[in-house]
Amino acid sequence: MPLCIYCHEREANSEEHDVPASLGQFQGHNLLLGRLCVPCNTGGLSKLDGRVARRGPEGFFRLLLGVQGRAHHQKKSPFYGRDYGAGPMRILAPLPEANDPEYEVFWEVLPGTAAAPEMRELRQIVVRDAEGKTYPIVVEEWLKTSDSLELVLAERGLCESTLDRMIAAPEEQGWLERVCEKLRRPENAGPVVWNVPLHPPIRAACTLEFVQDALYWRGIAKIGFHYALKVFPEFSGDEPGFLGIKRFIQHGEGDWRPFVSETLDDPRFRLGTWRPSLNRAMHVIGADKRNRQLKVDIRFFWMPEYEPPTLTVKIGDHDHVISHRDRIGDQYVFFWPEPRRGEHDGFVDHINFPMF
């Protein structure tokens, strides 16, 4: 058995999901075999998958579609705390009870497989500055005292702000009251307004905030590189032209820009033949080997309501000439809005694109 292409010390005996299972498990999806050892695959490299699937924009859409990932993985909300080296996602949208489109608070998506995903407010407080502008502050698990809250407000230049509203479940309200006991209230103000995070279906414009840092781009590079090794098995992964991207993936060496780029173009015009309509959510991945260059184009969670950017992974130079296999693409289609069928979120539909 060959050695692992990353450590070159242990046998490459691990099964690798080139598209992480946390982004969906698909009937007919072939695994990458004979390239990675178990310690490398389940150690630092697996954290890159988590960074993409749980703290990148992909984490938001997997919640919308009810993608569950591996059953044994601990379920954590991506809207609280830090995980996989990144802070939480943030969704800002108006609070209906405030009757003010500029009165925005933070929301979370509840995981599930419903056709209309449910959202509710995060645990938070809302303060007002001297000009009357409101600022929502998420109350994280570590925020237990009024002194800690004062530090948070000082960092945001809100030392002179006043408490306007608290949002928490009934069992958490005592906690928030203790945290906010030193906050001032406006003169002649009545009791603090409480909201319980529970809402009937509403329609509102929202803003999604997330961070795409070097760890995220390393995760994208890993997916593209491992996908290319799977669809072009003639490559061992130890070719000299792949040394740069392997060092970037494994150790974060170098800047991410030579390896990954993000564009908002439409690959249907570049990949040739396409399906006549787009009527369900899917991942689209295409590997392109021409002129001794190898790259992979990726679109995650492409759906009628959302057109994602194309993530291009530039893998490097190579000396192989592979006849009749210059372009390959896979289309991963979800059964959306239907629930999962057994352990699968969807199926793989292989598409071979001609040269042009």
Q: Distances from the Cα of 309 to the Cαs of 37, 67, 121, in angstroms?
A: 32, 20, 28
**Domain residue limits, the chain:** 21-71+210-351, 90-209
Give the separation between CA 340 and CA 262, rounded to whole angstroms: 30
Give the separation between CA 350 and CA 26, rounded to whole angstroms: 12
Q: What is the pLDDT of residue 118?
A: 77
Give the separation between CA 117 and CA 63, rounded to whole angstroms: 8
**Sites in the chain below the pLDDT cut of 50:** 72, 113-114, 268-277, 354-356
Report cis status (omega within 30 of 0) of the bond before 78: no
pLDDT in tens, 288-311: 887 778 899 999 998 877 888 999
Q: What is the pLDDT of residue 276?
A: 42
Closest C-alpha among 176, 168, 96, 106 to residue 137: 106
Written as one letter, the residue type at 80 is: Y
Q: What is the pLDDT of residue 274?
A: 44
pTM above 0.85, yes or no: yes
Pairing of strands 162-167, 193-195: parallel
Q: What is the pLDDT of residue 325?
A: 61
pLDDT in tens, 80-108: 998 888 889 999 999 998 889 999 999 98
Mean pLDDT of the chain: 85
Give the separation between CA 47 and CA 65, rounded to whole angstroms: 22
Give the separation between CA 83 and CA 106, rounded to whole angstroms: 18
pLDDT in tens, 44-60: 899 999 999 989 999 88
